[in-house]
Amino acid sequence: MERETRIGHIVRLGGGIADIRFDGPLPAISNRLVTLSDPEIVIEVAGLPGEDIARGLVMNPSPELRIGLAVRDTGGPIDVPVGEAVLGRMFNLFGETIDDGPPLGDMPRRPILRAPVPLSERRVEGAIFETGIKAIDLLSPLERGGKAGLFGGAGVGKTVLITEMIHNMVAEYDGVSLFCGIGERSREAEELYREMGEAGVLDNTVMIFGQMNESPGVRFRVGHAALTMAEYFRDDLRRNVLVLIDNIFRFVQAGSEVSGLLGRIPSRVGYQPTLGTELADLEERICSTDRGTMTSIQAVYVPADDFTDPAATHTFAHLSASIVLSRKKASEGLYPAIDPLRSYSRMLTPATVSQRHFRIARAVRTTLAEYEDLKDIIAMLGFEELSERDRATVRQARQLERFLTQPFFSTEAMTGNPGRFVTLDETLDSCERILAGEFTDRDEGDFYMIGAITDLAGRAEATDAA
């Protein structure tokens, strides 16, 4: 039997919220309502404040929106197309293509809000996902089927790093990749689409965007829409999926805006009281099962560089690897500005990475930590006052610090320095040789922005020739 179409009328409008009166039964929370106007305006039900009133978030405001406009209940949440045909395409939250390509035609659709996979069906893989970025593979290796966060304040290089990972990982990846842009500049979306096309990886990639010029409702829901597409690949097509999100903080921020629009009283530091559950509802959907792995890399903006901010701390809790970017390193030009002492990966234990990897990573970290401790003494008394051993540690730490910088493919046009992909083996060999004191006579500047340590030879020739 066909379900009766429920029609209501807008009775109040303001601040991105619409109240709609229904004569018959009310729509369910999270249902998608559409106006009977051209263009169609989507409203998502957020609350039922009265017996005959549904209160909803206006997702795509337009001048057509007015009191008295008829609204239809579609009987379910917003949905998006799923299947092979979404590959190579760019979408908005409503599953409409935004890349000027041919129409998608009739495709199966799935609601964007779905329950996460039960714990009993989840699986951990425990294998490293190589990025070709020395500092990451050595000190906070990513886990296949795990979740990694790139944390950092404004302008420390999160987007550059995630773009580099796309460059290094997507082409080699055996599964499909899905990029979800939340609340960032729309220019970045276009650039990324073009770059992926040029790199020839678009055919295995889906992109979905809800950028900063869109309503809070769109930014709040676009992550869920992306996961619905990703889940279809994992569960129905049994493919491995790599989900890249830039930027998960904007999801939290959109939730806070939505909460404010609905008149809820804020909680700590002005965030919505529901921050923890909202983030969990999204993050819990990112998981691996027997059907396929879902690996995710998420950029996390840290407001005012404050790592105790509730948005950052709640996100930390969901991740298997946290890569922390430091403003100080960025200001010294030590890109990627990864802070090796604050970055962390669950993978870095002797049981999961090789014994050798674990030993080298620990030695590098210890040397860098000792240098960090000596910095105060150097500032007060001067380098010359240090013991011979400490001086050697400082020299070695500064060599390592510079060695862990890396020229990126994604910044090639800007820096003029060709990008380098360094395998984990090369990184381990290089660090082992630096730690063994093989290069004590070399200037620390020689280690800056090279690939593997074998590149040092090229530098020597260049210096000799000059």
Ligand X SMILES: Nc1ncnc2c1ncn2[C@@H]1O[C@H](COP(=O)(O)OP(=O)(O)OP(=O)(O)O)[C@@H](O)[C@H]1O
With 0-12 / 13-18 / 19 or more C-beta atoms within 10 angstroms meaning exposed / middle / buried, residue 197 is: middle
Closer of 82 and 334 to ligand X (Cβ): 334
- State the residue number with the nearest CB to ligand X: 157
With 0-12 / 13-18 / 19 or more C-beta atoms within 10 angstroms meaning exposed / middle / buried, residue 29 is: middle
Distance in angstroms (rounded) separating the CA atoms of residues 202 and 185: 20
Flag whether 15 is marked binding.
Answer: no
Flag whether 302 is marked binding.
Answer: no
Distance in angstroms (rounded) separating the CA atoms of residues 420 and 427: 12
CB-based contact 338:329 (threshold 8 Å) = yes
Closer of 334 and 434 to ligand X (Cβ): 334
Which residues make Cβ contacts (< 8 Å) with residue 239, sequence separation at least 6?
175, 176, 233, 292
Site residues (CB under 6 A) for ligand X? 152, 154-160, 301, 335-336, 408, 411, 415
Residue 36: CB minimum distance to ligand X, A: 39
209: nearest Cα among 187, 180, 184: 180
What's the first-to-final CA gap in the chain, in angstroms? 84
Flag whether 146 is marked binding.
Answer: no
Closer of 175 and 183 to ligand X (Cβ): 183
150: nearest Cα among 165, 133, 137, 162: 162
CB-based contact 112:228 (threshold 8 Å) = yes
Q: Clarify whether 328 is annotated catalytic.
A: no
Distance in angstroms (rounded) separating the CA atoms of residues 152 and 168: 21
Two structure tokens written together for 376: 């105060």
Quick one: CA dihedral 378, 383, 385, 391, positive or negative? positive
Closer of 159 and 298 to ligand X (Cβ): 159
Closer of 41 and 302 to ligand X (Cβ): 302
Using DSSP's 3-state secondary structure scheme, residue 118 falls into coil
**CB neighbours of residue 333 within 10 Å:** 10
Q: Clarify whether 12 is annotated catalytic.
A: no
DSSP 115: P
Closer of 178 and 299 to ligand X (Cβ): 299
Bridge partners, 73 (sequence order)? 6, 33
Residue 193: CB minimum distance to ligand X, A: 17
Q: Clarify whether 185 is annotated catalytic.
A: yes
Residue 246: CB minimum distance to ligand X, A: 8
Identified catalytic residue from 130, 143, 164, 184: 184
Flag whether 156 is marked binding.
Answer: yes
Residue 223: CB minimum distance to ligand X, A: 17
Flag whether 154 is marked binding.
Answer: yes
Closer of 71 and 165 to ligand X (Cβ): 165
Distance in angstroms (rounded) separating the CA atoms of residues 310 and 307: 8
DSSP 172: T
Residue 361: CB minimum distance to ligand X, A: 21
CB-based contact 10:68 (threshold 8 Å) = yes
Quick one: CA dihedral 460, 462, 465, 466, positive or negative? negative
Two structure tokens written together for 291: 């059907």
Residue 179: CB minimum distance to ligand X, A: 14
Flag whether 292 is marked binding.
Answer: no
How many residues does the structure list for the chain? 466
Identified catalytic residue from 6, 32, 89, 158: 158
Identified catalytic residue from 66, 185, 328, 375: 185
Annotation: binding site for ATP? 152-159
The set of catalytic residues is 158, 184-185
Annotation: binding site? 152-159
